[in-house]
Structure 1
Amino acid sequence: MIDVQLSEEQSALREMLVTFAERELRPAGPHCDVEGQVPAELGAKINALGITSGDTGMTALDYVVAAEELGCGDPGIAYGALSTGHAALLLGLCGSQEQQATHLPALADGGLGSVLYYEGWGRRTAELEATARRGPAGWNLNGEKFFVPNPATAATSVMVASDVETGDLRAFVFESTPPGYDSASDDRTTPNSGLRAAHTGPVGIRHLRVPHTAALPGRGIDLARALAWIRLTVPAVAIGAARAANTYAAAYAQDRVAFGRPISSFQGVAFLVADADTAIDTARLSLWSAAIELDTITDVSVIDDLVSTMVARICAAMERVTRDAVQVLGGSGYVKDHPVERWWRSAMTLAAIDTDPLAVPGTV
């Protein structure tokens, strides 16, 4: 049996982030959603928290707890900051000392990072189609990646691809946008439905050549655990968005009067809010349990199965929760006078990043 209670340090981290998210992220959310970017001053404050710096002193549980609280403040701002920090996370967990010394200081100072991992439809690590071919002078990288953070502006990028000779998954670090890196499409010109404060987009990698020293030495179970951290960011932020939406809907239901009494007194509304609370708590405990298990699992395929199933089921559940929050507000839930529509859009977009519909019962 896994103990999913937080330590004193983790509880203190959570309380600090609750305050930070409410004070800094929540008020900025609507403006950042419209503008499609986060002000530099706010970005610096998030970076100063140290969560996105590649600090290997954090555990996976620390990370998902932090991601949920930031997501509750604003999922777009949170996902943008966390995904920008994924390059530092991979370098911190799997990079060599030389790679860390070269790249981490700039990332810790606010330099933009990027991880090229996602390929759509909830592909597991074993199903990735991007390839890396080793040659005399280095590696030749090819593939199509989606939801890439900072697709045209990242100073440091890490691409995940399969070694065509061994079939092993490898990660490679490179700077800027070298020849073979194509970021023709950008969601700032063709925005996603949600997460508009996060800068993402598709990238094509065609015969991008990197030296042998670009390959991160961490591989196998170490790389699998690091990629699991990255993938668990999505459901963690989704839980935060759902919690924000349900809390708002519950307060609205107590204030909104119909037929002479608050609509929260009607079973059709009360059951939606109560069921949402249960779904959120269940998702959180499942996510915490998975994060704790990562440190003890020694089989890459077991991690792959655990994370893929967790991501798909939690994202589907949190999309339902945010949709129901909109329903509690009735027609008002669809207008931007209330933030629930933004949280719903965010939950749907998060689900699109890394969800396999076949892993969610009843969706196909």
Structure 2
Amino acid sequence: MAVDRLLPTTEAADLIALAREIADKELAPRVDEHERAETYPEGLFATLGAAGLLGLPYAEEHGGGAQPYEVYLQVLEELAARWAAVAVAVSVHGLACHPLTTFGTPEQQERWLPDMLAGEVVGAYSLSEPQAGSDAAALACKAERVPEGYRITGTKAWITHGGRAGCYALFARTAPGPRGVSCFLAPGQADGLSFGRPEEKMGLHAIPTTTAHWDGAVLEADRLIGAEGQGLQIAFAALDSGRLGIAAVATGLAQAALDTATAYANERTAFGRKIVDHQGLGFLLADMAAAVDAARATYLDAARRRDAGRDCRRAASVAKLVATDAAMKVTTDAVQVLGGYGYTRDFPVERYMREAKVMQIFEGTNQIQRLVISRSLAAH
């Protein structure tokens, strides 16, 4: 079901319509095949890039769409309503572009950004490590200065698009302490870089998540983004935007579950009536609809704050928390609406339920979001 959106411009409405058309044509027909077979959708990100959907919130001078985050996130939601794994990868690509667009030099931006925004080079984000997930200050992967640039040694974990991406926003330690982490734009292939076997996940099967092993690979000095020691500042600035992306993806996933459950409830009969007309089920669907609408309103509020240049850290955490918790509840309730059929692979709601779970975990667990929110309250 098409969402009735309030969009700021006619151009934005046309862009959402284009995204919906591409999602219906390129994503919806392929999702079941690739998710079940756990195969990568070759060529799909080039298609999205050619349509301009991978660089929407970035400047036109480098090939971006110059769209406000309010519009970009609604495009992500449309993609997620058809294929959550692809939408997550698009969000992560945007996250990988953020350090370069915000902290890169004009020369670095001119060299790498056009290909990234056009989708010719898909980016991934490499912050987490096996023993340093939410605690980014505990990173151990090292970047040692050498005459050729920086020698990278260590292991990174939980990389969406790992082994498939053309470049990585890589965070590695150049000095001890929390101010000793630096950011690099690393190439997708390098001598001394290898990737582990893709993780066997509950969901999001079509896009690999892997570890990366850096065994003395050397990066040129000009791949340092920002100054040495500025890495955590860069990472945390990007994560606010990334959390908004995941909030939008979770909302799209919840919308898909609601649409499937509503369609089923309007077709299935029990005791001589459509099951939607039974109050117990009708009220369950009403709660699901309210949760989806609330999630959308929350991420849009945060996006508008970001677009206005206001501090959106707390709002981004609220949006990520509300939207992903809503997605978990709505997808679980969708399985309940379909009853026994919901527990089978004949309908997509069991996949939606599996996909929703990780959204409460990545881009900072929801416990971390509560910590961010509570600290903002304590500061006043």
TM-score under structure 2 length normalisation: 0.80
Which of 30, 36, 52 is the equivalent residue of 1:50? 52
Give yes or no for the alignment of 1:235 onto 2:263: no
Give the drift of 1:322.
0.7
**Which residue pairs with 2:7 in the alignment?**
6
Deviates more, 1:215-224 or 1:62-71: 215-224
Give the drift of 1:290.
1.3
Distance 1:216 1:62, change over 3 A: farther
Distance 1:354 1:39, change over 3 A: closer
Give the drift of 1:116.
0.7
**Which residue pairs with 1:27 in the alignment?**
29
Contact 1:333 1:341 (8 Å CA) reproduced: yes
Give yes or no for the alignment of 1:116 onto 2:118: no
Distance across 1 between alignment mates of 2:52 and 2:68? 13
Give the drift of 1:208.
5.1
Give the drift of 1:259.
1.0
Give the drift of 1:24.
2.5
Give the drift of 1:229.
2.0
Distance across 2 between alignment mates of 1:162 and 1:268? 55
Distance across 1 between alignment mates of 2:325 and 2:34? 25
1:287-334 superposed Cα distances (whole Å, 9 cap, x missing partner): 1111222355676xx72x443443233212211111101110001001
**Which residue pairs with 2:374 in the alignment?**
none
Give the drift of 1:105.
4.1
Percent identity reads 28
Contact 1:114 1:156 (8 Å CA) reproduced: yes
1:231-259 superposed Cα distances (whole Å, 9 cap, x missing partner): 32222111101101101101100110011
Give yes or no for the alignment of 1:342 onto 2:351: yes
Give yes or no for the alignment of 1:17 onto 2:19: yes
Q: Unaligned regions of 5+ residues in structure 2, if any? A: 60-65, 371-380
**Which residue pairs with 1:93 in the alignment?**
102
Distance 1:122 1:336, change over 3 A: farther
Counterpart code for 1:157: Y
Which of 249, 263, 269 is the equivalent residue of 1:257? 269
Total equivalences in the alignment: 352
Residues 192-271 of structure 1 mapped to structure 2, 5 A cutoff: 192-205=201-214, 209-217=218-226, 224-271=236-283
What CA RMSD, in Å, does the superposition of the two structures yield over aligned residues? 3.2
Distance 1:272 1:121, change over 3 A: farther
Contact 1:173 1:215 (8 Å CA) reproduced: yes
The structure showing larger relative contact order (alpha-carbon pairs under 8 Å, at least 6 residues apart) is 1
Contact 1:90 1:227 (8 Å CA) reproduced: no
TM-score under structure 1 length normalisation: 0.83
Deviates more, 1:307-316 or 1:252-261: 307-316
**Which residue pairs with 1:319 in the alignment?**
328
Distance 1:160 1:133, change over 3 A: closer
Which of 303, 311, 316 is the equivalent residue of 1:307? 316
